[in-house]
Chain A
Amino acid sequence: MRGPLRALLAAVAAAALLLLPGWAGGLHGAFAVIAIMAVAAYGLDIVVSDLGEVSLAHTVFFAAGAYATALLSTRLGAGSWATLAAALTAGALLAAALGLVTLRLREFVFSLVTYAATVVAAAVAHNWPLLGGSDGVSAIPTLDLSVGPLRLAAGNDAQLWPYALVLLLLTLYAVRQFRRSRLGAMAMMVHLNPRLATMSGIDVGRVRLLVFVLSSLFSAAAGWLYAYQRAYVGPDLFETYFLVLMLTAVVLVGRRRLLAPLIGTALIVGQERFLSFGGDVNAIILGGALVTALAILPGGLDGTLRRLFARPAPRPTAEREPLPQP
Chain B
Amino acid sequence: MNLVQQLINGVVLGHAYALIAIGWTVLLGVARLVNFGHGQIYMLAAFVTWWATASLGLPYPLAILLAMGAGVLVGLVMQAAMLRLTFAQDLVSIMIVTLGFGHLMRGVAGLVFGGNPQVLETPLSLVDFELAGAWVTGQDLLIVAAGILVFVLLHYGLERGSLGRTARMVAEDPKLAQLAGIDVRRVYFAVFAFEGAAVALAAALVAPRTPILTSIGFEEVIVTFVVVVLGGIGSVAGSYVAGLGLGVFTALFGGFVSPAYATTAAFAVLIVVLVLRPGGLSLGGRAGR
Contacts and interface: CB of A to CB of B under 8 A. Distances in A.
B284 A284 contact: no
Interface of A: 52-54, 56, 101, 104-109, 111-113, 115-117, 119-120, 122-124, 126-127, 239-241, 243-244, 247-248, 251, 279-291, 294-296, 298, 323-326
A294 B100 contact: yes
Contacts of A239: 215
A62 to B, nearest CB: 16
Contact of A244 (B99, B274, B288): B99
A253 B228 CA distance: 34
A98 to B, nearest CB: 10
Contacts of B215: 239
Contact of A323 (B90, B99, B102, B275): B90
B97 A290 contact: yes
What are the 5 A-B residue pairs with the smallest beta carbon separation, nearest first? Answer: A287-B104, A283-B107, A290-B100, A326-B284, A287-B103
B126 interface: no
Contact of B261 (A127, A279, A298): A127
Nearest to B286: A326
B178 interface: no
Contacts of A115: 36, 221-222, 225
A104 B221 CA distance: 22
A280 B111 contact: yes
Contacts, number: 146
Nearest to A53: B92
A108 B263 contact: no
Q: Which of A52, A112, A279, A324 has the most CB of B within 10 A?
A: A112
B27 to A, nearest CB: 12
Contacts of A54: 92, 95-96
B5 to A, nearest CB: 23
Given A124-B264, A291-B81, A116 B270 contact: yes
Given A101-B275, A108-B95, A294-B97, 14 more contacts: A113-B274, A116-B222, A116-B225, A123-B219, A123-B263, A239-B215, A279-B107, A281-B111, A283-B110, A284-B104, A286-B104, A287-B107, A295-B82, A326-B285
A181 B222 CA distance: 37
B102 to A, nearest CB: 7
A240 B218 contact: yes
A324 B273 CA distance: 25
A120 B264 CA distance: 5
A126 to B, nearest CB: 8
Contact of A112 (B106, B111, B225): B225
A100 B281 CA distance: 17
Contacts of A107: 91-92, 284
Main secondary structure of the interface of B (DSSP, over half): helix
Interface residues of B, number: 49
Given A101-B274, A115-B221, A120 B99 contact: no
Contacts of B263: 119-120, 123
B172 to A, nearest CB: 15
12 contacts: A107-B92, A239-B215, A240-B103, A243-B99, A280-B107, A280-B108, A281-B111, A284-B111, A288-B100, A294-B97, A298-B84, A323-B88
B177 interface: no
Given A283-B106, A287-B100, A287-B101, A122 B111 contact: no
B85 to A, nearest CB: 6
B254 to A, nearest CB: 12
From A113, A116, A124, residue with most partner B Cβ within 10 Å: A116
Interface in B23-49: 34, 36
A109 B222 contact: no
Contacts of B99: 56, 240, 243-244, 247, 290
A318 B102 CA distance: 30
Given A54-B95, A323-B90, A123 B106 contact: no
Contacts of B288: 325-326
B149 interface: no
B283 interface: yes
Nearest to A296: B81
Contacts of B91: 107-108
Contact of A279 (B102, B110, B267, B275): B110
Contact of B103 (A52, A119, A290, A295): A290
Contacts of A123: 219, 260-261, 263-264
Contacts of B218: 119, 122, 240
B124 interface: no
